[in-house]
Structure formats: C-alpha cells, structure tokens
Amino acid sequence: MIDRRSALKCLAGAAVFAGQPVLAGEARIDRLIVPAKAQGDISRRIAFISHALLGARYRGYTLVGGPHSAEKFVVLDDAFDCVTFCETVLAAAIAGEPGAFDATLKTIRYHDGIVNWYERNHYFFEWSEHNIENQVCRAIDMDGAVQIEKTVYWHKALGHRHFDMKVIPCAVFMDNRQLLKDGDIVGFVTQRPNLDYFHIGFVMFDNDGYLLLRHAARSRGHVIDERMNRFVDVNGVRYVTLLRPQERTLV
C-alpha cells in the first residue's frame, strides 16, 4: 500500500517517462532571468521582469489537464492570465538562472511541486497558503483586517471547500500604501458566493509615487499598468489580501 501523495508522484513520473508533451515557450523568460539578477533584491527583480512583459497578450485557460485527463506542465512567455502572469514572473525572479526556472514554477503552481491536476493550486486562497508554507511569500497584515468565511465550489471535482480568510478592507489597503513595495502580490476577494478571488496582480509604484496594479487584464487583452484607485473603484473591491515575495532558493 502507498499513500495518495506517493501515488501522485508515481503518476507524475510515469507521465514524464511516457514522453507527454510539455508546452514550452521559455526563450523570452530565459533572456530575462540573468539580467534581472543585477537589479538587486526580489522586489526589483519582479519589477524588472514584469515590466519587460508589459504588452504580452491576455490568454485564459492556458493550463492543460483535468480530473479525468493528464496534467501537462505548461510554460508560456507571450500570453498569460492573471495567475500565470504572477507565478511566471515570481518563478523567474526566484530562479536566478534559466536551468532552475521550471522546477521553481512547478513548486509555485503545484502543491509540493507535483504536476497533477489535483495538486494544482486552483484557488488563490490555497495558492497563497501553500506558497507561504514553502516560504516563497509571506502574508502582509494591516491594522483593520477582518475575518470572513468562504465556501467555494467553482471546481466541481474538488467538492465544497471552506476557507476562513483574513482580509483587508479596501479603504484600509488604499490608506496604507506606505506599507507596500514593488512586487507585492495583491489578491482581490470576490463577492461571488462560490469563489474566493476574482483577480490578482502585482503592486507597483510609478515615478511619481502613484500606486499601480500591474496585471494581465482580460478587459484590455494584455498585460498593463493601471492606477490602483481606478481598478478598485471600477470593480467595487471590498477586500484584498497581500503577499510579499521572499528571497528563496527552491532548487
């Protein structure tokens, strides 16, 4: 008898051995990793890499796999949704060298780095929890944060999941921008009853000190910088959560 996680590792290994295709597009990312190292700390590396990807196309549903089909590790460098944009930039900023990028991205995207649909961080709440556990990020707290509860069932095959979430009211977030820095990851909590978040992106500041959201915007069709106050107003944001990427070697 073997436990479920061991079985998943066997399945993942079997998939690689069987030659299942990896959809790769790493050349552009590879060219950014090395010069990013010269930028300094992880905040500056994220700013450098994400800036280079401004204008990249928005593309949803890029990941391949399902509860009844094989998961395939996907790497794209020219088209992203909001989550794949953030995790691609974060992995490139952490990796330090092109050869470490794939393993780093797997660790960020999948629980314990296991390439399997059931181990993919489908909900951003779990993405956050797992990437805090593995020390990729730490949570940013603010005075005025509150607890809310969410029961999610967007992915039917995963069943109902109950999340106790510590969230920051939008007004508190906007009033405490001095606590933020380039590269912080902001998650926007949805008001939908069956989902946890509706969008994520990077915090950035422009040369005049304005707070920006750098994100893969479906409404605009590409990766953009947008004034944070405009985004939260247009979308009626009530709560956010914040993560700060950490210096970390994952391979």
> Comparing C-alpha atoms, which of 162, 146, 150 is closest to residue 198?
150
Query: Looking at the whole model, is its pTM more than 0.75?
Result: yes
Q: What is the DSSP string of 100-119?
A: GHHHHHHHHHBGGG--SGGG
pLDDT at 250: 65
pLDDT class for 26, splitting at 50, 70, 90?
low
Q: Residue 248 in contact with residue 49, Cβ under 8 Å?
A: no
112: left (phi over 0), alpha (psi -120 to 50) or beta: left
- Domain spanning 137-245: CATH superfamily: putative xylanase like domain (2.30.260.10)
CB-side neighbour CA atoms (13 Å) of 57: 8
pLDDT in tens, 121-156: 999 999 999 999 999 999 999 999 999 999 999 999
* Nearby residues of 181 by Cβ (< 8 Å), 6 or more positions away: 43, 203, 244
> Comparing C-alpha atoms, which of 56, 2, 46 is closest to residue 224?
56
Residue carrying structure tokens 């944060």: 145
pLDDT in tens, 91-126: 999 999 999 999 999 999 999 999 999 999 999 999
What does the alpha-carbon distance between residue 118 and residue 123 come to, in Å, rounded to a whole number? 11
- Give the CA radius of gyration of the chain: 18
CATH of domain 4-133: 1.10.3670.10
If you average pLDDT over residues 224-247, what whole number do you get?
98
pLDDT in tens, 205-215: 999 999 999 99
Cβ of 67: how many Cβ atoms within 10 Å?
11
Q: Provide the residue ranges of all domains of the chain, joining segments of one domain with +.
A: 4-133, 137-245
The SS3 assignment for 144 reads coil
Residue carrying structure tokens 């956010």: 240
Strands 57-58 and 79-80: parallel
Q: Is the pLDDT of residue 21 over 80?
A: no
pLDDT class for 28, splitting at 50, 70, 90?
confident
Q: Residue 58 in contact with residue 221, Cβ under 8 Å?
A: yes
Report DSSP state, residue 56: P
